[in-house]
Structure 1
Amino acid sequence: MEQYFCESFIWYISGLVCLLSPNAESLKLLHGQSLVFPHVIHSRSDNDSKTLKITKTLTLNLEKSSVLDKELLLRTYEGPLMRHTYIDGEMLEEDLYHDAQNFASVMVSEENGLKVEGVLGPKLRIKPWVGEEGAVGKNFPHIVYEIQDDTLHESQGGAWDKMAMHFTPRESYPTRRC
């Protein structure tokens, strides 16, 4: 409980410092984290591109991403019953953008203020700060943070091996010719 209070207090003070100095573009926080106020520099509706400034040294030239089909099948299980739900793929990727040069892929929403969440490169991530009450106008604070290594596979231990046992090679069936 004490650790939670200390972390919350540090976030609160960090946010106040940023708010009191609106010219400060970013503020260094703990453990490789920075508090930033990203903003759109340029936006073109004809080709759905945006230029998004994250920090003084990081500007993304974003292009619209398209990775899903028009209709996406989501299969879930409720006990032994399989349930199929069809989701509008175009709606899911409505706010999805990428910058191939920086290896960035982000969701950008400008509804009720700019909010950015995603990958800024091989080791950087961005997400809106939970304490959104620190917004300056419609410019929300965001946290840019580093990730060390891809430890997902290591932390799962033998779970990946167990999952691999459920996959079987696809059998080839003879095809009919008309």
Structure 2
Amino acid sequence: LHDDLTLNLRKASVAAPALRVLTEENGRPVTLFYNGKDIDRDLYEDEEKIASVAVTRNENGVHINGLVGPQHRIEPLPVAGRSEDGVVPHAIYEIEQDEMLDKALAHSEEREKAVISERWNRGYQPQPPRVPENVTVELFFVLDTRHHSHFSTNEKLLIYLCVMTNSVNLRYGPAKNPRISFMVTGMDKSTNESYAVLANQNDKYIFDEGTLSNLKGYVHERETEYGQPDVV
């Protein structure tokens, strides 16, 4: 990519065999299905650099989108074609860590007392459950309009979700007993965010607790439509 950054890419895969997309067509709700192999086709990774990217090719050359490390992302520059040396110009940006109106959970004595001691109920020693060697966590995403409107096609949005999810997989790579991986199973492109609790009717910010509480009910009503994933 440049003199100080070289990626050794290998194929990656995080998409389920069939991805479901809940959306609307002509004002009516529909569920579309996409082949996971088609979405995974352009997904690559560099485990050492914790890079997760989509690599596509067209008549202009090679285009790379995604993460090239924990702190940087890459995307092609919006130019008409290749540079004089035949290479598609790209830009690498530092990922901004915006300060939001987040809250920190304060430590409390009540929570400390609620933690069960390792000596608790010493007389009862059940056999610990057998831990599987590999655990795959199915992820389904609910996307609001402000987010999914930035993507021109469902395929591009699914690839974006796979790039981000694969980055999480790379961070979990060292974990063992069990090995943990995440798999994208689909998305809900919501158009009526009834679950969102706006901050003083400013749709740029939402309140966390109220929104999460409403979202729980929103998801519960659609759990079957989502395919019973592990995490939404």
TM-score in same-fold range (> 0.5): yes
C-alpha deviation, 1:64, in angstroms: 0.8
Paired position in structure 2 for 1:129:
77
Q: TM-score, normalised by structure 1?
A: 0.56
The 3 A distance-change label for structure 1 pair 144 and 132 is farther
Structure 1's unaligned 5+ residue stretches are 1-53, 171-178
Paired position in structure 2 for 1:118:
66
* Structure 1 counterpart of 2:56, one-letter code: S
Tell which deviates more after alignment, 160-169 or 80-89.
160-169
Q: Deviations over 1:29-58 (max 9, x none)?
A: xxxxxxxxxxxxxxxxxxxxxxxxx11111
Q: Which one of the candidate residues 65, 68, 88 is aligned to 2:12? A: 65
Q: Deviations over 1:66-119 (max 9, x none)?
A: 101121000013587321000111111111101121111101123321111111
Q: Deviations over 1:108-157 (max 9, x none)?
A: 12332111111111111110000233523531100111123155786963
User: How many residue pairs end up in the alignment?
Assistant: 118
Q: Which one of the candidate residues 21, 43, 47 is aligned to 1:96? A: 43
The 3 A distance-change label for structure 1 pair 142 and 153 is farther
Q: Which one of the candidate residues 158, 167, 171 is aligned to 2:206? A: 158
User: Which whole-Å CA distance do the structure 1 matches of 2:14 and 2:208 have between them?
Assistant: 25
Q: Which one of the candidate residues 14, 22, 29 is aligned to 1:75? A: 22
User: Which whole-Å CA distance do the structure 2 matches of 1:64 and 1:162 have between them?
Assistant: 40
Tell which deviates more after alignment, 130-139 or 149-158.
149-158
User: Which whole-Å CA distance do the structure 1 matches of 2:23 and 2:57 have between them?
Assistant: 31
The 3 A distance-change label for structure 1 pair 80 and 140 is closer
Over the aligned positions, Cα root-mean-square deviation in angstroms equals: 2.9
The 3 A distance-change label for structure 1 pair 110 and 93 is same
Higher RCO structure (Cα 8 Å, ≥6 apart):
2
Q: TM-score, normalised by structure 2?
A: 0.44
Structure 2's unaligned 5+ residue stretches are 103-202, 221-232
Contact 1:75 1:84 in 2 (8 A): yes
User: Which whole-Å CA distance do the structure 1 matches of 2:208 and 2:44 have between them?
Assistant: 30
Paired position in structure 1 for 2:87:
139
Contact 1:96 1:105 in 2 (8 A): yes
Tell which deviates more after alignment, 159-168 or 136-145.
159-168
Secondary structure at the aligned position of 2:81 is classed as helix
